[in-house]
Structures are given as C-alpha cells and as structure tokens.
Amino acid sequence: MGRMSLAIAAAVVTIIPNAAIAAPCANVIPFGVAKRLQPTGTEVGQVLPSRVARFVREPVAAGTPIPSNEDFNITYRAGKDSVFMGLSRAGSAADTKSAVRTAREDVLSDKSINRRGEIYCTESEPFFYKIPDFIAWSRGPYFLYAHASSPAVLDEFMRAFPY
C-alpha cells in the first residue's frame, strides 16, 4: 500500500494498544463504520461517490480500476474545506491490516502530527486508525483513508460517507 505524509501540530496522545481484544475495539470503532454498507465494485466510481454531503469529488474517468498494490488518491472539496482520500482493494484481510498498520506508522514517524484521541485496532475487522483529522480503515477487501483539512471537516465528511 502507498505511504502518506501528514503535517499537523503535536498534542496529547491516547492510544488503544495494538494488543487490545476485539470487544474493546468494537466499542470504539469511529463513525460507526462497522455498521455501514460493505463497498462493492472494482472501479473507483463504483466505490467513491461523486458527492458526499456538500463535498464534491474530483472527476474520475469511467472504468478507472481500484488498484490492488497502491492507493488511488482523489480529493473531495467544498469551498475551502477538503478531504484527501485514498482507496485500494487488497488481496486479503492481512493486506488491509498491514495497510492500516502502515498508515499508523507513517503518522508515528512525523512528530509534528496531532495524535490527540488516537485510536487504533488491528485485532478485528474493520481494522482502523484515527487521529483528529485523519482516519484509515478497512471494509472487507477495501482499504480507505481520509485526511481532512480540519477535524470538523473529517467529522462532517465521515458522518455522510457511505462506507
């Protein structure tokens, strides 16, 4: 999976350990993503809607396949607010778990990133990692992430995102 870099101010850290058991993970899954529809499709346009609430996705050529060995990146915009999305279709649950783990490692490597309220789980599906303006998660074979221009923008976007 592709690596991403995020630059944000540093802050206090709250971590759910990687070794957390499934029940505690289920109690903290962000945005209720485990209860949402499972994405289907092999094309970007089938999985990433053209509009999410007030956010409009950049155009995507019809038939653009969802990559399996790297992230497809695209931005949703609404005025000055934006959400940078990544999407891939992994070969296995181990691959999506690894992608979420890599997203977290990328954040940990940059000490300037605000990790306040950090939550992380790779013990049960959906696997996820969340900090104030970023979330990486799995839905079946799909790995997704969203990096928003602010925590409020991420909350608004993810409340409306279908998966």
DSSP-based three-state secondary structure for 93: helix
The answer to whether position 4 is within a domain reads no
The answer to whether position 6 is within a domain reads no
- Stated pTM of the model: 0.84
pLDDT exceeds 50 at position 126? yes
The answer to whether position 58 is within a domain reads yes
pLDDT exceeds 60 at position 71? yes
The answer to whether position 9 is within a domain reads no
The answer to whether position 101 is within a domain reads yes
Judge contact between 66 and 88, C-beta under 8 A: yes
User: In sequence order, which ranges of 3-133 are alpha helices (DSSP H)?
Assistant: 22-27, 44-47, 93-109
149-to-127, 132, 133 alpha-carbon distances in Å: 23, 10, 7
Cα dihedral: 97, 127, 5, 150 (round 10):
170
Q: What is the pLDDT of residues 103-120, one digit of tens each?
A: 999 999 999 999 999 999
Q: What is the pLDDT of residues 9-64, one digit of tens each?
A: 222 233 444 433 345 687 889 999 999 999 999 999 999 999 999 999 999 999 99
